[in-house]
Amino acid sequence: MKKKTAKIITRIISVCGFLTALLAFATGIFLTINSTLFFSLFPLFQTMIGRMPFSWFAGSALLVLGIIFILLGLLRFWIAYSLWEFKEWARIVEIIIAAIGMLQFPLGTVINAIKIYFLGFDKDIRRLFG
């Protein structure tokens, strides 16, 4: 494989990381907004249904999950950008993420197996990272 082809493959994997980061960030924003909406409608739920012991917990859980997804999206963006810049640590982290992603049967398994092959075993791509 030529060096140019190795760069293109690495950039494609990095773009997949950027898309994953965008999806995680958007999910976090969605959950955070919905938790705020849930908290604003909480008094209405209490008057309509009566006492709801888990309502406060559900709204808080949405808020916490939203913040976690936003942070994961930012972290994933940083990893994808570092992979774009051919940082060795980002290659290793991406291989670990792909290994975990192998559990996403069936399509995730195929995509992540391809990522592991190129980032972990292809000599030309490994040379790009130093």
Q: Rounded to whole angstroms, how far apart are CA atoms 113 and 102? A: 7
Q: What is the mean pLDDT of the chain?
A: 89
* pLDDT at 10 (0 to 100): 96
Whether 35 and 60 have beta carbons less than 8 Å apart is answered as: yes
Tell me the pLDDT tens digit for each residue of 44-92.
655 655 555 566 677 788 889 999 999 999 999 999 999 999 999 999 9
pTM of the model: 0.84
* pLDDT at 70 (0 to 100): 98
Domain ranges of the chain: 3-128
* pLDDT at 48 (0 to 100): 57
Q: Is the pLDDT of residue 8 over 80?
A: yes
Q: Rounded to whole angstroms, how far apart are CA atoms 81 and 96? A: 16
Residue 102 has φ and ψ, to the nearest 5°, of -60, -20
Q: Rounded to whole angstroms, how far apart are CA atoms 58 and 35? A: 8
The CA-atom distances, in angstroms, between 130 and each of 5, 56, 100, 122 are 17, 51, 25, 13
The label of the residue with tokens 């916490």 reads 64
Tell me the pLDDT tens digit for each residue of 96-108.
999 999 999 899 9
